Amino acid sequence: MIAARAPGRVNLIGEHTDYNDGFAMPMAIGAETRVNFAPDPGAVLHVAALDLVQDDRFDPATVAALPGGGWRNYVRGVVDELIRAGVAVPGGTLTLTGTIPQGTGLSSSASLEVALAHALLAAAGVAWSALDIALLAQRAECGFPGVRCGNLDQIACAATRGGHALLIDCRSLALRQIALPDDLAVMIVQSGVRRGLVDGEYNTRRAECERAAAVIGVPALRDADDGMLAGVRGRLDDVAWHRARHVISENRRTCDAAEALAAGDLVATGRLMRESHQSQAHDFGITVPPTDRLAGLLDHAIGAEGGARQTGGGFGGAVVAVMRAGHVAAVRDAVNAGYRTPDGALPLISVETPADGAGIIAR
């Protein structure tokens, strides 16, 4: 029996920058996915999703996408990509279980893909680097499920380190581990607005960014600056122009936030996170009134030493905030007093310690 795990992730800053070849800075969270695998060469693969009480059965050698297959296509996609990479995937029994809430922007799907790849590679007796596993998992998500995602989520789940945030250069794949200050607390508040049916919006944003890069005349928005953007004001449609302005400013904010965090400067980090939220709201168009309210409430309760922003793909999900550890109780009270989910419930709040990236836990 092989057991593997991969954490979920929260993106501290750097949103919708990954597929523009830019920068992002996530950290791993305590919630995770676990995969157990009992190989049985010659048998089919039987996959049991314990939390959903659902299963799937297929022959790895002839794996194909399942129309409307949901979570099954993440599993099938990983198996397909491993086989394409020449890895012998045996049959057997896979059991999946996890604690990452789905549809909240905390990467339950990337975590599943990365944990699964670890388990199947271990069964095949091959060792891959964390980055290679992450890139395979990204291809798997783009393949059968059909989301044209970037590489942020999978790299975060695969390559983070306990106690650290991870600055990712999504083009060069250079990784910088940033030790978090001891008295910093990272809080995640669920807005209760589930992201749903937004893959179309995601792909639209990506197309708008590509349109902007083409008109500016750069390979990706990573290569553009404010001057270039000003130069295409009359030639680029207004929507794509604002999308590009978000990406260009968000890349700068992410690099600045990495320096600020490394220096323990919570005032600068907080300001950059607040600016990131505003840019997501006004230029990128991916926040919703409940996450705007929640971010505002958190900012007010936190004061100058820290800040909040919607995190993840957008259109709801979670808000992430950083603050001094000593402020957590008062901020939690303020959120509980001032925010209700669309269903009228108290929001789920967690305070996170950066976890380790994925790995094998038993074999």
Q: How many residues bind ligand GLA (CB under 6 A)?
A: 11
Of 14-22, 87-95, 335-343, 349-357, the segment contacting ligand GLA by CB under 6 A is 14-22
Q: How far is the CB of 15 from ligand GLA (least distance, A)?
A: 4
Q: Which residue has the tokens 């399942």?
A: 66
The token pair that represents 74 in the structure block: 């993440």
Query: Which of the following is catalytic: 21, 153, 283, 299?
Result: 153
Burial level of 231, CB count in 10 A (0-12/13-18/19+)? middle
Q: 2, 149, 273, 281: which one contacts ligand GLA (CB under 6 A)?
A: 149
Asked whether the beta carbons of 26 and 49 are under 8 A apart, the reply is: no
Q: Which residue has the tokens 């893959």?
A: 199
Restricted to residues 269-328, the positions that interact with ligand GLA (CB under 6 A) are 312-313
Does 152 contact ligand GLA by CB under 6 A? yes
Q: Which of 164, 141, 2 has the alpha carbon at shortest distance from 71?
A: 141
How far apart CA 22 and CA 13 sit, in angstroms, is 12
Does 153 contact ligand GLA by CB under 6 A? yes
Specify the residue, 36 or 276, whose C-beta has the smaller distance to ligand GLA. 276
Q: Which of 111, 76, 104, 25 has the alpha carbon at shortest distance from 315?
A: 104
Of 12-20, 258-266, 317-325, 354-362, the segment contacting ligand GLA by CB under 6 A is 12-20
* 153 included as an active-site residue: yes
Q: How far is the CB of 233 from ligand GLA (least distance, A)?
A: 26
H or E segment and range at residue 78: helix 71-84
Q: How far is the CB of 286 from ligand GLA (least distance, A)?
A: 8
How far apart CA 304 and CA 296 sit, in angstroms, is 13
Does 7 contact ligand GLA by CB under 6 A? no
Asked whether the beta carbons of 177 and 164 are under 8 A apart, the reply is: yes
Does 21 contact ligand GLA by CB under 6 A? no
The CA-based diameter of the chain, rounded to the nearest angstrom, is 62
Restricted to residues 243-272, the positions that interact with ligand GLA (CB under 6 A) are none
Q: Which of 284, 338, 341 has the alpha carbon at shortest distance from 315?
A: 284
The token pair that represents 80 in the structure block: 């397909």
Q: 4, 5, 6, 16: which one contacts ligand GLA (CB under 6 A)?
A: 16
Residue 290: CA atoms inside 13 Å, Cβ hemisphere, count?
22
Specify the residue, 18 or 32, whose C-beta has the smaller distance to ligand GLA. 18
Does 19 contact ligand GLA by CB under 6 A? yes
Does 103 contact ligand GLA by CB under 6 A? no
Residues that bind ligand GLA (CB under 6 A): 11, 15-16, 18-19, 149-150, 152-153, 312-313
Catalytic residues, which ones?
153
